[in-house]
């Protein structure tokens, strides 16, 4: 699919890697097949994305790969055993990519979103939540745009964003 995108639409200047899948379960009940599936979606497919776009971005003189993640990358909590390790490995893979691609003029960054995002599925779970407790999609997009277009003299890797009302 990624090769098809390149062929039909050309090489993107910015790739936003936002794929994510999770299984929330007690560690003793987590199906190892689901655990491996989550790694494939969250980490292995990031590697494939970098393999497809990274070399061509280098050849084109630059680009950006922005990875979206969340605070599960830094902490494991009960029932997140099928998710947190996959996000942590994704963040570390991104660090490896930035060290290889950065010197070749491809900016790689990890945006850690510590929030529920104000989308229909979140509103179903929390219909009465005030807006300041939820991250607004357009505001996330603005931050990601800013990160993707940072001047080279201030490229940064790790970003953590959260709404004003988020408890942390």
Helix (H, G, I), strand (E, B) or coil at 119: coil
Would the CA dihedral through 93, 45, 162, 64 be positive or negative? positive
Q: At what angle do helices 84-101 and 32-39 cross, to 10 degrees?
A: 30
Alpha helix (H) residue ranges in 75-157: 84-101, 120-125, 137-148
Q: What is d(CA 90, CA 168) in angstroms, rounded to the nearest whole number?
A: 22
Nearest to 155 by CA among 76, 101, 83: 101
Q: What is d(CA 159, CA 85) in angstroms, rounded to the nearest whole number?
A: 19
Q: What is the pLDDT of residue 168?
A: 66
φ/ψ (deg, to 5) at 105: 75, 25
Q: What percent of the chain has pLDDT over 70?
A: 99
Q: Quick check: 163 pLDDT over 90?
A: no
> Domains (ranges, CATH) in the chain?
12-161 (3.40.50.720)
Is residue 118 within 8 Å of 137, Cβ to Cβ?
yes
89-145 pLDDT, tens per residue? 999 999 999 999 999 999 999 999 888 888 888 888 888 988 878 889 999 999 999
Q: What is the pLDDT of residue 50?
A: 98
Q: What is the pLDDT of residue 116?
A: 81
């Amino acid at each position: 699919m990624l090769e098809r995108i390149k062929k039909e639409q050309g090489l993107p200047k910015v790739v936003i890697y936002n794929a994510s899948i999770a299984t929330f379960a007690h560690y003793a009940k987590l199906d190892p097949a689901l655990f491996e599936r989550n790694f494939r979606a969250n980490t292995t497919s990031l590697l494939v994305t970098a393999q497809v776009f990274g070399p061509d971005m280098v050849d084109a003189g630059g680009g950006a790969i922005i990875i979206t993640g969340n605070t599960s990358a830094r902490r494991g909590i009960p029932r997140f055993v099928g998710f947190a390790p996959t996000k942590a490995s994704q963040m570390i893979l991104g660090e490896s990519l930035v060290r290889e691609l950065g010197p070749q003029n491809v900016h790689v960054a990890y945006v850690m979103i510590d929030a529920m995002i104000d989308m229909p599925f979140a509103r179903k779970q929390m219909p009465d939540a005030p807006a300041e407790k939820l991250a607004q999609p357009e505001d996330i997009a603005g931050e990601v745009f800013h990160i993707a277009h940072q001047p080279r003299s201030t490229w940064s890797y790790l970003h953590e964003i959260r709404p004003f009302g988020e408890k942390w």
